[in-house]
């Protein structure tokens, strides 16, 4: 447990000390929120789907959590390059503990980013139905963060260079985000797009937050959202642990 806590704390300290990273990571969510939230709002409302800001806010929060958690896997490549990963792996602790510590650290940072984006959404005009919905939505953020932090660790453990990681992330993260229904309702899609969006785990995380916030555009049952996130999260944690156990220095 001490190793897990130490690695978790290290991730948080690196994050807090990098103010430029904090500010930069808020730029893209703010751009989507302001440009799309207010720019497409009138069109969305004329289509009879209600307030677009209320609809897109969970999607923007989910985007922030997704990108931050997945890219936490990049830290493995940095640590490999600068020798810290070798020092960690030769320590008298199991690789499973190391993997859990790194995953929890990345997930905690992702949730912190999501909370900051949520505050920005509240300032911009997003209004949850009640205060109780906020902690429940945070629970969905935690599940999203753990799921995709485990995915990032699995991918980071399988690669040897940062260029390969960035290439895979661009071909994986962006489709995951755009097919999650973050920017458009999942109802009324054609058959092909309907089934493609249903294999995207982020779709269930964002839909879970929409259910919590009382959106009429939620596509799934909240119990299904929760079940998919938990099951996929466990699977990716197992995959991430196996890939991390195979790392050779």
**71-100 pLDDT tens trace:** 877 777 777 776 667 777 776 777 788 888
**What pTM was estimated for this model as a whole?**
0.88
**pLDDT (tens digit per residue) in 173-222:** 888 988 888 888 887 778 888 888 889 999 999 999 998 887 777 778 88
Distance from C-alpha of 239 to C-alpha of 244, rounded to nearest angstrom: 9
Contact 201, 179 (CB under 8 A): no
Contact 157, 246 (CB under 8 A): yes
Per-residue pLDDT band at 146 (split at 50, 70, 90): very high
- Give the pair of three-digit tokens for residue 2: 């001490």
Contact 38, 53 (CB under 8 A): yes
- Give the pair of three-digit tokens for residue 216: 């009429």
Distance from C-alpha of 75 to C-alpha of 210, rounded to nearest angstrom: 31
Query: Tell me, what's the pLDDT at 48?
Result: 55
Query: Tell me, what's the pLDDT at 56?
Result: 85
Domain of 112?
2-245
Alpha-carbon separation of residue 113 from 21, 67, 142, 214, 236 (angstroms)? 11, 10, 11, 23, 22
Distance from C-alpha of 144 to C-alpha of 126, rounded to nearest angstrom: 21
Distance from C-alpha of 44 to C-alpha of 62, rounded to nearest angstrom: 20
Is the confidence at residue 42, as pLDDT, over 70? no
- Counting the structural domains of the chain, the total is 1
**pLDDT (tens digit per residue) in 121-136:** 888 878 888 888 889 9
Distance from C-alpha of 51 to C-alpha of 13, rounded to nearest angstrom: 38
Query: Tell me, what's the pLDDT at 88?
Result: 73
């Amino acid at each position: 447990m001490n190793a897990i806590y130490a690695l978790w704390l290290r991730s948080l300290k690196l994050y807090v000390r990098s103010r430029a990273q904090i500010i930069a990571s808020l730029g893209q969510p703010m751009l989507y929120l302001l440009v799309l939230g207010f720019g497409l709002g009138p069109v969305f409302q004329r289509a009879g789907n209600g307030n677009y800001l209320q609809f897109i806010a969970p999607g923007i929060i989910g985007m922030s959590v997704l990108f931050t958690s997945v890219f936490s896997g990049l830290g493995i490549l940095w640590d490999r390059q600068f020798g810290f990963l070798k020092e960690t792996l030769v320590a008298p602790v199991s690789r499973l503990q190391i993997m859990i510590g790194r995953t929890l650290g990345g997930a905690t940072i992702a949730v912190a980013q999501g909370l900051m984006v949520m505050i920005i959404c509240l300032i911009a005009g997003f209004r949850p139905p009640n205060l109780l919905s906020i902690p429940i939505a945070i629970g969905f953020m935690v599940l999203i963060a753990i799921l995709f932090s485990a995915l990032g660790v699995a991918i980071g453990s399988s690669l040897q260079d940062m260029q390969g990681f960035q290439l895979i992330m661009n071909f994986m993260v962006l489709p995951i985000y755009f097919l999650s229904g973050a920017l458009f309702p999942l109802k009324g899609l054609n058959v092909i797009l309907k089934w493609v969006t249903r294999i995207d785990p982020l779709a269930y995380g964002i839909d879970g937050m929409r259910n919590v916030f009382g959106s009429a555009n939620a596509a799934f049952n909240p119990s299904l959202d929760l079940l998919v996130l938990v099951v996929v999260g466990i699977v990716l944690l197992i995959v991430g642990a196996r890939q991390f156990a195979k790392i050779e220095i």
